[in-house]
Amino acid sequence: MFKIILETIKKTTVYITPNFPTLQTRRYKFKLFGIFNIVALYSFFVALVVITLLALTPLKDIIFILENEKLVEQTDRIQELEEKINLLTFELESISSTNKRLKYAMILAGTDSLDSTSAIYDSLRRFNKKKMVNEGSIFASITNLIKSLFNEGDSLTKQFFIRPTTGIVLNKFNADKGHLGIDYAVKEGTPVVASSGGLVIFAGYTAKDGYSLIIKHDNDYMTVYKHCDQLLKNEREYINQGDIVAFSGNTGYNTTGAHLHFEIWKNNKQIDPIEILIN
């Protein structure tokens, strides 16, 4: 069947009659197979010329200039996306590490005993609770005076807290609205002091609270300092009451202006700092 069709195509002829304004009309006869050959040869010749021009002349740069610009733009876009992905990956790893440290800090804040194999045990063994206040500082004198006023049992074991910074209280404690501390209205760079002596269990940056510091104290107390501009103390470092631990700031997205957010916790439960702060 195929051979019959092929033979028919070979024998098929095409007549072309030009419409010239002459008195005599002449027709031209072509075989269909021959027309196919002519078209194929013409296409091959055109392709050969185009390839030669593209290979040996700068014509290809002119023809593909738009395509090249798009390719360059796409390449730059891909590199930009790769950089953003790497940055996001680094930030996610940083957030994950910070969250782990915060979780560990909260666990550490809720216990009085530590395993001797823990990473901070060596620091704990070197800590002398009776020397948390520097006897040569003005805070030592105030500490001894206030402790003497509590004349009940061993006065050296009494726990009290001082104001962490200057300024007025802008927002008070309101657990019902989720405000678990008090806000001091202070300028950026105002010194922030330790409300009481203890161990720094967290010092770092979080997206929500900015540069923050958490200190564990005796008798299951814990203080939190948020939105600082700069931290002066590191984790696993013991500090005395009144030591400057940071400078106030306006860091973290959960802030609307320069201030210090201060919290006091007791047995992992928040309490109103105003009730126990010593003026």
Q: Which residues pair with 122 in a beta bridge?
A: none
The pairing of strands 13-16 and 28-31 is: antiparallel
**3-class DSSP state of 96:** helix
228 within 8 A of 154, measured Cβ to Cβ: no
Over residues 23-61, the pLDDT tens digits come to: 566 777 777 777 778 888 889 888 888 888 777 777 666
pLDDT, average across residues 165-192: 90
At 94, is the pLDDT very low, low, confident or very high (cuts 50, 70, 90)?
low
Q: Give residues with Cβ within 8 angstroms of 167, minimum separation 6.
A: 184, 185, 186, 190, 260
Domain ranges across the chain:
2-60, 120-278
**3-class DSSP state of 253:** coil
Over residues 95-152, the pLDDT tens digits come to: 666 666 666 666 655 555 444 444 444 444 444 333 333 434 455 555 555 555 554 4
Kindly report the pTM of this predicted structure. Answer: 0.52
Q: What CATH number does the domain located at 120-278 have? A: 2.70.70.10
